């Protein structure tokens, strides 16, 4: 049951520096990882984890059931929530253990729940961004949503008052039923 440590770096210079001077050295020392089990990779941040040659080789060829993979943080095993989820699912299928050092997560269940929180935070962040854009547009005086009124609104209300059904009105006016329904609730607007 060997322990593998996997580290990613943007370039060779930072890789040499980090392995000698930083937290990565502490991880190797803390988990007593032999140098042959330390995997380092220089990669661009937008490459999916399973498309990285060293990482893919590690998960698919080098590791066997009950081996342990130690990474410094979640970004080491994926660029976004879906990418991380794919890696976690692969590790579950292969019965591998993952330790995320920065979060002190020791089981795949912990990582899965953390990932769910990560996804929820991402959704909340998108909602806040959307709300901020809407508030900014309102503040600037932009009218949001569907334009008010319809050129058929007056006719729809008159035919409604005359007792016609929504379907008959749509046929008489030659318009879509959804347009009739959208203008059905409001009374006649005087211009």
Summarised one tens digit per residue, pLDDT across range 31-75 is 899 989 999 898 877 888 899 999 999 999 999 998 999 998 888
Q: What pTM did the predictor assign?
A: 0.58
Summarised one tens digit per residue, pLDDT across range 17-31 is 777 667 788 888 888
Residues 161 and 103 in one domain: no
Residue 63 in any domain: the answer is yes
Residue 187 in any domain: the answer is no
* Residue whose token pair is 């498309």: 51
Residues 98 and 178 in one domain: no
Residues 107 and 172 in one domain: no
Residue 173 in any domain: the answer is yes
Buried/exposed 9-37: b ≥16 CB within 10 Å, e otherwise: beeeeebeebbeeeebeebbeeeebeeeb
Where is pLDDT greater, at 121 or 83? 83
Mean pLDDT of 136-162: 84
Residue 125 in any domain: the answer is no
Q: At 88, which helix (H) or strand (E)? A: helix 81-94
User: Residue 191's pLDDT is what?
Assistant: 35
Whose CA is closest to 60, among 93, 30, 36, 84?
93
Domain that holds residue 106: 3-118
């Amino acid at each position: 049951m060997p322990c593998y440590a996997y580290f990613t770096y943007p370039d060779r210079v930072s890789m040499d520096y980090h392995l000698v001077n930083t937290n990565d050295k502490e991880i190797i020392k803390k988990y007593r990882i032999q140098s042959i089990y330390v995997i380092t990779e220089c990669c661009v941040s937008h490459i999916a984890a399973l498309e990285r040659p060293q990482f893919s080789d590690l998960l698919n060829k080098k590791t066997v059931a009950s081996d342990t993979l130690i990474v410094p943080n979640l970004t080491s095993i994926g660029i976004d929530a879906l990418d991380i989820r794919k890696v976690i699912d692969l590790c579950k299928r292969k019965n591998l253990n993952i330790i995320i050092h920065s979060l002190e997560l020791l089981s795949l269940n912990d990582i899965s729940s953390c990932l769910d929180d990560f996804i929820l935070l991402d959704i909340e962040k998108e909602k806040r961004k959307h709300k901020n854009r809407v508030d900014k547009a309102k503040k600037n005086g932009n009218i949001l949503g569907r334009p008010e009124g319809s050129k058929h609104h007056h006719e729809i209300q008159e035919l409604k008052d005359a007792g016609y059904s929504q379907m008959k009105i749509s046929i008489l006016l030659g318009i879509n039923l959804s347009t009739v329904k959208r203008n059905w609730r409001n009374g006649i607007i005087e211009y």
